[in-house]
Every structure is written in C-alpha cells, then in structure tokens.
Structure 1
Amino acid sequence: MKAILIDDEKPALMQLERMIQTDGRVNVTGTYMNPREGFAHLAKDKTDIVFLDIGMPEMNGLQAGEYIQQIDPDIRIVYVTAYADYALDAFELNALDYVLKPVDPLRFAKTIARIEEDRRRSLRPAAVLQEPAVLCLKRLTLQDAAGAGDRLKWRTQKAQELLAYLIHMRGQWVTKDAIMDQLWPEYKQDKAITHLHTSVYQIRRMLKEWGAVSAGVEYSQDSYRIILDGIATDVEQFEQGEADEPAMTESGWQRNDRLLALYRGDYLEEHDYDWAKAARGELSRRFVQLSLHTAAYELATGRERLAIRRLGTVQEKEPYSEECCLLLMKAYASLKDYGSLTRQYESFVRVLHTDLGIEPDRETVEAYRRFVQELA
C-alpha cells in the first residue's frame, strides 16, 4: 500500500514517517508540509492512504479531506490531530482512523492493523455466493439480490423447519413417514399429515414469494424433496471450497479467507434443530481446522494481528485447544507483547484446571517458557 503524509510540522512528519517505515507494511511515497502539494501528488500518483494533519494554518485538515475525496473517493484518510474533539468530524469525511499527537507507538500499531484489515476487505470479491442463495450458517435465510428474502415472514416455525430439513437432505427423497417422525413425533398420523400438508403449502407459497423460479418442493411415491436448481447454499460453498493444502500459498490463503468469511455462525444454530446437531458439529470442526491452518500461514507471513483475531474466534469455540493456544502465544511472542503472551498462557492454564482438572500438554508449557526466555 502506498501512502503520503501531510503535516505543516516537520518534526511530526519525520516521526510519523519513521513509525511507518519501522512497521514496513505501508510504503511512504511522499511527505508534504503544504496540502496543495500533496493534492498535486495524488492527482498524478495512485495512492491508498493519506495521513493528514487536521490543525494546519493554511487549510484545515477536514477541508483538505474533502478535496482529497474529490480527487479520488477510494483514498482512505487517517487523521493526525492534537484534539480528540475532531474525531467525529473526521469519520464523517470517510476517515479510516485518527491518531492523537504525540503519536503513541501502540495506538499507531492499531491504526496499521485497521488499515490492513480495510485493505483485506477491499480486495475480497464482492460476493462468494451466487444470487439467489440459501444461507444455513447461523440461521436459515433465503437471499437474493433485491433483498426479498429478508422480508419473508414464516407463518409457522414448523414450516420453516421443514424447509430447513429438506435443504439439509440435499435433494434426496424423504418419505412422509420419515418427515413426520422427525418433525411431528408427538402427533397421531392423521394430525401429523395435516401439519405436513399445511407446511408444504406454506413452503411453496414462500418460495413463490421469494421469486426463485427454479426452487420448489416435489412429491412422488409418498416422498418429498427440495429442488434448488442453480441456487447455491453457503454450506455447499464452504465445503466445496475446502482443500487439503499442507504448504499453503497466497492464493490458498485468499481462498480460505473468503471461505471463512462465509461462516457467520454454526449450522442452523439459531434454530437448534436436533436433526442438525451432527452436521453442526462436523462443520464447526472443519471451520476450526481451516481457521487454525489459515492463522498458521498468517503467522508465517508476518500477519500476526490478523492471526490473533482469527484465533480469538477459534478459542471462543474451542477453549481447550492446545494448538490454538500455541499459535496465539507464537503471535504475541512475534509481536514482542510479553503481557498478552503471559495472560494468554495463564488464562489457558486456569481454564484447563477449572473446567477439566488437567494441566497443559508438555509442548505448550515448554513453548511458553521458550517464548518468555526469547523476550527476556
């Protein structure tokens, strides 16, 4: 990423340039004390980030931000200011972040992380799923480009569950008896059949309202199945995109990052259907393994903060994972963050002892000691 710095104070420019150069993830292509000279640079040279002082005598930094957005609306602005009161005005002008003078190295590191995350989002394809699509991760949603799926209202929860169950069966024929045993086991057959027929009617009406002409429910030989010709599900996208790639490449990382972004939550977790529990556990396991594999690559390529955020999600799902703890400790050690390293290890030890009555693996203990010695 390319950046320029604009500040009417030479010492401030020099300090900020040194911080950026030390970090190494952003390339400074120009420093200017006069905003108009910076504008001329932006008009000729494509630039990603502008670090812009707010309190300049010739032109207020907020006014300068408006000029910059006219030159190129894709340019992201990070304001540098001595006054915290300017923060709200700054963000209204498409600012990515702001830092206070004198610039604190730790706060500046968070700014760089935010720049990196924003860059990663901007490089991600606009959509992984084809439209329309069926979303099953976290909750059942019928999605389309016009947003009609968000407005669909189910008359009964059982109709929604039946649709989810048919989607779960992935186009296989399911007998009426099997469906009734799964969804209406407490009713006698005649009552269960009435509920089944009513729910099928509601599903067909809902699919018509959704507007997906290739979607429907078929009936034959006392069995039902869902037809979703040409309509993707997020679960299928996630499963088909997985790859066993021991030596990950950058393209593999980009693919994994897109796949993991699909995982909004566990499979149908908001509905808590009993028949979905096995699939939910398997998909969760795949998500954890793919996340760990991806985070390990991020650590190997100097993206520690991305890895930490990813691993934080994993640790919420798998608090007893030794592998996750090891990768987190490695990330903090790489950042020379002794405090976070120690807190991570001590918290992990405490959780294992309190919840399971066990101690960490020898590998984890030795890794922690090694990291501490390296930081000493």
Structure 2
Amino acid sequence: MRAILIDDEKPALQHLERLLAKDGRLQVAGKYTSARLGLQHLEQEKADIIFLDIGMPEMNGLEAAEHIMKVDRNIRIVYITAYSDYAIDAFELNAADYLLKPVTAQRLNKTLERLVSREEQAAPQPAAAEQADNPWILCFKRLEFMDRNDAGRKTLWRTSKAQEVLALMLHYRGQWVLKDMIVDLVWPDFKPEKAVTNLHTTVYHIRKLLKTWGMEVTVEFSQERYRLVTGNAPLDVEQFVQGWQGGAVKDEQDWERREAVLALYRGDYLGEHHYNWAEAKRKELQANYIQMSLRSAEYELDTDRPRQALARLSALQEVDPYSEDICRLALRSYAALGDFPGFRNHYDHYKMLLQNDLGIGPGSIMDSWVQNAF
C-alpha cells in the first residue's frame, strides 16, 4: 500500500517516515509540509493512505480532508495532531484512525494492523464486484445517489415530490403500494384528479432519472398499485440492517466489521426530509445505531482506547443528548484518561440539561456512582 505524509513540522514528518520505514508494511510515496502540495500529488498519482496533520496553516487537515474525498473517496486518512479536541470532527470525516503526537511505534503498529486488516477484507468478492459498478442509493440523512466512479456527481431531482415518491417506494421496496395511498401521503391537499396526474408525471421523471444513472431499479405498475424493484443496486439502509449487531464486540476483526456498518449511518433515516410516514423507521434505525455504537465504545474502553471511545460518545450525544448509557460511558472515558475536571464538567452539564429540558435528574444509581468517584 502506498502512503503520503502531510505535516507542516519537518521533524514530525521525518519521525513518522522513520517509523514507517522500520515497520515496512507501507511504501511512503511522498511527504509534504502543506496540504496543497499533498493534494497536487494526489492529482498526479494515487495513494491508498494519507497520514494528515490537522493543525496546519493556510489549510488545516480537516479542510484538506474535504478536498481529498473529492479526489478519491476510497483514500483512508489517519489524522495526526497534538490536540485531542479535534477527534470528533476527524471521525466525522471518515477517519481510518486518529493518532496523538508524539506518535509511538506501539500505537502506530495498532493503526497499521487495522489498515492491513481492512485491506484484506476489502478484497473484491464476485457479488461485491457486481455492486461496485452500480450507484449506491443513500437514505441515511437524505435520499440521493452516489456514483463511486464520480464522487462529485449530484442527484438532480426534477421536484421535491419526485424525491418523496421515490423515498416512499424505497420505504416499501419490493411491496405493492396502492396508488391512492401514495397520492394521499404526498399530495394530501390536492383534488384526486390533479394528484393522480401529478403522480403519473412524477413517476415518469423518476424512471428517467434512474435511467440516466444507469440504475438497475425499475418502477412497476399493476392493478392500481406501484412497486419498486431495486435489483443489484446497493442500498445503505439495507446494508446497515444486514450488518447490524447489538451484542458485545468479540474481537478486533468484529470491531472492524462493525465500523464498516456504522459508517453507513450518515444521519437519521431520511432525516432532512421530515416525512411523517418515515418517523417510526427513523426512530428504530436510530436506536439500533446507538446500541451498536455503544457496544463499540465499550470495546474501545476495554482495549485501552479511551480517547477513541470519547470521540465516538461525544458524537453520539449529539444524536441522543439525554441518554444515561452514553453519559455513563463518556464518564468512564474521562476517568480512564485521568481527566477528572472533564469528568465533573461533563456530568454537571448532563444534569443541567436534564433539569432544564425535561425537569428531571439523573437516576439515583448513576448519581451515587458519580459521587463515589470523588
């Protein structure tokens, strides 16, 4: 695997290059003291992995990551910085790992083991190869398509109603849905004749859009009902449901597999659209995501990775700020780091949030546990 190193501090670059050379599993194809030079390299040559410093002048690592993803979404990024405060933002930008300076040989070895393991698991299988040529259908956060061969390609919806009708058909994919049900949900205030006309026009535009994207997806009509058949087109929600596991993480390989599944969850199911008919499924998938993420955080704590666990849990609290389970594991992370001011501030903020928003306090067992911690 080919790697490039980007850090504005030359001693840090040289130190990392020496560690990688001694390890021997990666080939260093270039090292640069600015993100712009690194991006110029990627425009000329491909790389598998980028070791990227976050705190750089002109263009910091998180900004650079946005540009890197546009060049090649398959590149894996390992962020390196002296400040753990960036962990949450880094992991939101598809981080393969996160290293704190000064980088040690022992910690780097763990990162390389994960990267090599992912490379082996990513070896194409026949079924996966078929899917790779098909654009992905994404329903987490918003409905859109993703072309793996053209990361910048946009899904151009003729109308917001076309987007909603397709989302509704995907919601019931493979099942026949009455035409009257669709018009009642999508055009509730229209006269029946006008609503049906709009539906026919909308379905025409959906079929045209699917054809433009070369999707193996068909919209069928029979006996006043519609059905969406997705064929081999990969669907993020379907992949998430198939890969979801709610039990304890068994080992590192199990953790890696779960990370790939959790990465599919870009946001709540059709969250940006606020469709009432999608609400029950949105809550179900969100609960599953939180449960699976908590099990991964527990494993990270058990394997001496409290910073990684804390970054995950801080992001989870944005999803469910009132969860006692998330707060409890975050407190365990602070305790493992020896950050007792952070421990106290986190708990005080949680208590205040519950009181101000819900008019309640934390459970007595948790409160007693926190008080005994000091």
Question: What's the TM-score once normalised by structure 2's chain length?
Answer: 0.71
Closer/same/farther in 2, CA of residues 313 and 89 from structure 1, 3 Å limit: closer
Tell me by how many angstroms 1:332 deviates: 0.6
Q: Which residue of 1 aligns with 2:138?
A: 135
User: What is the aligned counterpart of 1:270 among 268, 272, 286?
Assistant: 272
User: Which deviates more from structure 2 when the two are superposed, residues 266-275 or residues 146-155?
Assistant: 146-155
3-state SS, counterpart of residue 243 of structure 1: coil
Distance 2:281 2:27 in 1: 44
Number of matched pairs:
311
Q: Tell whether 2:298 aligns with 1:296.
A: yes
Tell me by how many angstroms 1:143 deviates: 2.0
Distance 2:52 2:136 in 1: 37
3-state SS, counterpart of residue 258 of structure 2: helix
Tell me by how many angstroms 1:311 deviates: 0.6
Q: Which residue of 1 aligns with 2:179?
A: 176
Distance 1:122 1:330 in 2: 30
Q: Which residue of 2 aligns with 1:146?
A: 149
Alignment of 1:190-339 (within 5 A): 190-212=193-215, 214-246=216-248, 248-339=250-341
Deviations 1:72-102 (A, max 9, x none): x7787689xxxx9x8669979x9954669xx
Distance 1:255 1:95 in 2: 18
Would the aligned equivalents of 1:78 and 1:99 in 2 still touch at CA under 8 Å? no
Query: Which has the higher relative contact order, 1 or 2, with Cα contacts under 8 A spaced 6 or more apart?
Result: 2
Tell me by how many angstroms 1:186 deviates: 1.1
Q: Which residue of 1 aligns with 2:24?
A: 46
3-state SS, counterpart of residue 269 of structure 2: coil
Would the aligned equivalents of 1:133 and 1:232 in 2 still touch at CA under 8 Å? yes
One-letter amino acid of the counterpart of residue 188, structure 2: P
Would the aligned equivalents of 2:135 and 2:213 in 1 still touch at CA under 8 Å? no
Would the aligned equivalents of 1:96 and 1:115 in 2 still touch at CA under 8 Å? no
User: What is the aligned counterpart of 2:188 among 163, 169, 185?
Assistant: 185
3-state SS, counterpart of residue 151 of structure 1: coil
Closer/same/farther in 2, CA of residues 215 and 89 from structure 1, 3 Å limit: closer
User: Based on CA coordinates, which of the two structures has the bigger radius of gyration?
Assistant: 1
3-state SS, counterpart of residue 373 of structure 2: helix
One-letter amino acid of the counterpart of residue 339, structure 1: P
Identity of aligned residues (%): 39
Closer/same/farther in 2, CA of residues 276 and 98 from structure 1, 3 Å limit: closer
Would the aligned equivalents of 2:217 and 2:229 in 1 still touch at CA under 8 Å? yes
Distance 2:60 2:184 in 1: 59
Question: What's the TM-score once normalised by structure 1's chain length?
Answer: 0.70
3-state SS, counterpart of residue 327 of structure 1: helix
Distance 1:149 1:218 in 2: 30
Distance 1:89 1:209 in 2: 36
Tell me by how many angstroms 1:111 deviates: 5.9
Tell me by how many angstroms 1:223 deviates: 0.7
Would the aligned equivalents of 1:134 and 1:143 in 2 still touch at CA under 8 Å? yes
Closer/same/farther in 2, CA of residues 147 and 117 from structure 1, 3 Å limit: farther
Distance 1:153 1:78 in 2: 33
Unaligned runs of 5+ in 1: 1-12, 17-29, 51-59, 101-107
Closer/same/farther in 2, CA of residues 362 and 177 from structure 1, 3 Å limit: same
Distance 2:60 2:189 in 1: 60
3-state SS, counterpart of residue 137 of structure 2: strand
Unaligned runs of 5+ in 2: 1-10, 42-46, 65-76, 84-98
Closer/same/farther in 2, CA of residues 90 and 189 from structure 1, 3 Å limit: closer
Distance 2:194 2:166 in 1: 19
Closer/same/farther in 2, CA of residues 244 and 61 from structure 1, 3 Å limit: closer
Distance 1:186 1:265 in 2: 30
Would the aligned equivalents of 2:140 and 2:269 in 1 still touch at CA under 8 Å? yes
CA RMSD of aligned residues (A): 4.2
Would the aligned equivalents of 1:135 and 1:141 in 2 still touch at CA under 8 Å? yes
